[in-house]
Amino acid sequence: MSTVIASVDRRSSAERAGVRPGEKLIAISGHPVVDVLDYRFFGYDRDPELELEGPDGSRRTLRLRKSEGEDLGLNFDTYLMDKARSCANSCIFCFVDQMPPGMRKSLYFKDDDARLSFLMGNYITLTNLSQREIQRIMDLRISPINVSVHTTDPQLRAKMLCHKKAGDSIAVMRRFAQAGIEMNCQIVACPGINDGPALERTLRDLAEMAPAVSSVAIVPVGLTRYREGLYHLEPYTAEQAGAVIDLVEAFGRRQMEKSGSTFAWCSDEFYLLAGRDLPAKVYYEDMNQLENGVGMLRLLTSQAELALEDVPGDLAPRSCTVATGAAAAPFIREILEKAMVACPALRGEVRPIRNDFFGETITVSGLVTGGDLIAQLKGTKLGQRLLIPSNMLRAGERVFLDDVTVDRVEKELGIPVQIVEAEDGFTLADILLELDVPEEGAVCVVPEDDDEYYRYNPSAKNRNE
């Protein structure tokens, strides 16, 4: 743990009060500061009092003048002010265990940190929480927390997570539910292991914790070609995927009658595996499981359709190729075809990228590598620009999973690359047609009554007030 202040933001309340880099933050308004959660929670209030310790061990107290919710302006050596906590499990389906050798070290780190669940939306198993941390979550009402459940059968959970105490976490979830801590849940379904009757039980147990458990996503296990020596698992067949869908949808109908919410949804990938049409957008309610691929393709297509309803007649966009994963390719192709009807000057095609790096069973665009992109597109006609979804890249960077950069792709293919927000159909349509797209960080001004845009457009961070 390090609460030593690395720097102080200029013109911040901390700088105005005279806080100096090198001092250690001991407490805020009498509450000890252990990590970023304490810093965020106790620093939220108006005019907090900081207890500081200098490099020589001397202590002093300063009162800051700031409004409620305003950041103090302090920066530390690490975001968490502590080391990220690694996973204590050895899950039979763990994707990290299926990574090829020789990749950057960070890709082999398995995080299972409750702080990252609250701050970044990561999913955690709860197996490495101490009693102090459990109590702190309830005392500070840290919410929501995203929980990887997989099963509520204690013995089966211990087997799947290879952790003898993994079943105890279900009791922790019940404590959180009683304390009013909101939880979003994820189930990685493995054929013949935690689906069927086991899945029915899990959904029933989680529904008993509602409304604290607010949503559940069921996603199929992802299997790469790097599984030598690992637990034997098979991918879902179309018939098996259909059985999971039938079970989850039947449960959702019963839950809708009881509570007014479907509560649990299968990811898009299950419908693709089963060869079934995706449900209508209304089925997904508030779309609060997008991160698990639940309703993402339906949202993408419906947004794009809205964006293409009224296209200016004088557009002359450059020709393009859209590269994506095999799973999303038919939906992106449908959008592109509609865009070419709306704008006859547009010429383009969709190129699904086969995942040679991880194996052909991996079809999502988020695991397409720069190397596969170059190998499969080099020497082919791509038009004047190449569009790729943002989830192919590391968050906030221009680097693929295999450390290939966007700049290298542009150089190898001899074409400019445009990055499209992965689940934003509005932006995809705008980029296809080369309409004005706001720069990152810009305020997106949209008509005040456009509820469709504000409710479902992830990139609309600023509402036009």
CA atoms of 442 and 287, how far apart (whole Å): 24
Residue (of 452, 450, 373, 446) closest to 408 by Cα position: 373
Give how far Cα 415 sits from Cα of 318, 365, 407, Å.
12, 20, 10
Every domain of the chain with CATH number 3.80.30.10 lies at 96-293
Q: Is the pLDDT of residue 450 over 60?
A: no
Q: Is residue 439 predicted with pLDDT exceeding 60?
A: no
pLDDT tens readout for residues 227-247: 889 999 999 999 999 999 999
- Best-predicted range by mean pLDDT (105-109, 257-261, 286-290): 257-261
Helices (H) and strands (E) in the chain, counts: 15, 15
Can you read off the two tokens belonging to residue 238?
């179309």
103 against 299, higher pLDDT: 299
Average pLDDT, the chain: 87
pLDDT band at residue 94, thresholds of 50, 70 and 90? confident
**Tokens representing residue 86 in the block:** 């690694």
pLDDT at 213 over 50: yes
453, pLDDT greater than 50: no
Q: Assess whether pLDDT exceeds 90 at residue 443.
A: no
Amino acid at 325: G
CA–centroid distance for 352 within its chain: 22
pLDDT band at 42 (very low <50, low <70, confident <90, very high): confident
Give the architecture (CATH level 2) of 301-456: 3-Layer(aba) Sandwich (3.40)
Q: Options 3.90.1150.10, 2.30.42.10, 3.40.640.10, 3.90.105.10; which CATH number does 5-76 get?
A: 2.30.42.10
143 pLDDT higher than 70: yes
Q: What is the pLDDT of residue 108?
A: 52
What's the average model confidence in pLDDT over 334-347?
96
Q: Where in the chain is the domain with CATH 3.40.50?
A: 301-456
Question: What is the predicted pLDDT for the residue at 460?
Answer: 38
Task: Report whether the peptide linkage leading into residue 21 is cis, meaning its omega lies within 30 degrees of zero.
Answer: no
Residues of the chain with CATH 2.30.42.10: 5-76
Question: DSSP secondary structure string, 325-382?
Answer: ETTTHHHHHHHHHHHHHH-TT--EEEEEEP-TTT-TT---GGG--HHHHHHHHTTS--
pLDDT of residue 459: 38
If pLDDT is split at 50, 70 and 90, which confidence band does 461 have? very low
- Inter-residue contact 170 to 152 (CB < 8 Å): yes
pLDDT at residue 6 is higher than 70:
yes
Identify the architecture of domain 96-293 in CATH.
Alpha-Beta Horseshoe (3.80)
